[in-house]
Structure 1
Amino acid sequence: MDVLSDAIAVMRTGRPHSARTEKHAPWGLRFHSEGRSGFHALLEGSAWLVPADESAPPVRLAPGDLVFIAHRGGHALVGEPGTPVEDVSLLPDGTWPRAPEPDPGDGRPPSAVMICGAYLLDEGRSHPLLSELPDVVHLPASDAGNGGLRAVLDLLGDELARPRPGSDTIVTSLLDTLLLLILRTWWLRVRGDEGEPTGWAAALADPAVAAALRAIHSDPAHPWTVEELGALSHLSRAPFARRFTASVGRPPLAYLTWWRMTSAAGWLREPDGAPLRSVAERAGYATEFAFAKAFKREFGLAPGRYRKLRAAG
Structure 2
Amino acid sequence: MDAFSDLIRGVRAHGSLFGSSTLSPPWALHFVDGAPLTLCTVLAGGGWIVPEHGPPEPLRARDTVIVRGPGTFTFVDEVGTAAEPVACGEDCATPEQGGTRHRLGWYDRDGDGPGATTLIVGAYPVRGELSRRLLDALPVVLRVPAGGTSDPVLDHLADELAVDTPGQQVVLDRLLDWMLVCTLREWFDRPGGEPPAWWAAQRDPVVGHALRLLHAEPAAPWTVATLAERTGVSRSTLAKRFAELVGEPPLTYLTHLRMTLAADLLVEQDAATVADIARTVGYSDPFGFSAAFKRVRGANPSEFRRSALVTR
Assess if the C-alpha contact under 8 Å between 1:29 and 1:85 holds in 2.
Answer: no
Residue of structure 2 equivalent to 1:64: 62
Identical aligned pairs, as a percentage?
A: 38
Listed as ranges, the matches of 1:174-213 within 5 Å are: 174-189=175-190, 193=191, 199-213=197-211
Structure 1 residue ranges without an equivalent (≥5): none
What is the aligned-residue RMSD (CA, Å)?
3.6
Deviation at 1:42?
0.5
Structure 2 residue ranges without an equivalent (≥5): 101-109
CA distance in 2, matches of 1:59, 1:118: 18
Deviation at 1:223?
1.3
Residue of structure 2 equivalent to 1:154: 155
Paired letter, 2:136: S
Per-residue Cα deviation, 1:89-142 (whole angstroms, up to 9, x for no partner): 665xxx262242237499762711111122233696566554333332211112
Deviation at 1:273?
7.1
State yes or no: 1:172 paired with 2:173: yes
Among 243, 246, 249, the residue aligned to 2:244: 246
Listed as ranges, the matches of 1:38-77 within 5 Å are: 38-52=38-52, 56=55, 58-70=56-68, 72-77=70-75
Assess if the C-alpha contact under 8 Å between 1:10 and 1:263 holds in 2.
Answer: no
Among 130, 134, 138, the residue aligned to 1:133: 138
Paired letter, 1:21: S
Per-residue Cα deviation, 1:3-54 (whole angstroms, up to 9, x for no partner): 1111022566986433222222111234468352212110122222235566
Residue of structure 2 equivalent to 1:98: 93
CA distance in 2, matches of 1:172, 1:108: 25
Residue of structure 2 equivalent to 1:111: 116
CA distance in 2, matches of 1:204, 1:3: 7
- What's the TM-score once normalised by structure 2's chain length? 0.79
- What's the TM-score once normalised by structure 1's chain length? 0.79
Q: Secondary structure at the match of 1:216?
A: helix
Deviation at 1:180?
1.9
Assess if the C-alpha contact under 8 Å between 1:37 and 1:119 holds in 2.
Answer: yes
Assess if the C-alpha contact under 8 Å between 1:5 and 1:180 holds in 2.
Answer: no
Q: Secondary structure at the match of 2:21?
A: strand
Per-residue Cα deviation, 1:215-252 (whole angstroms, up to 9, x for no partner): 10010001111222233443322332232122212221
More divergent stretch after superposition (194-203 vs 40-49): 194-203
Q: Secondary structure at the match of 1:207?
A: coil
Assess if the C-alpha contact under 8 Å between 2:48 and 2:77 holds in 1.
Answer: yes
Q: Secondary structure at the match of 1:118?
A: strand
Q: Secondary structure at the match of 2:228?
A: helix
Assess if the C-alpha contact under 8 Å between 1:45 and 1:112 holds in 2.
Answer: yes
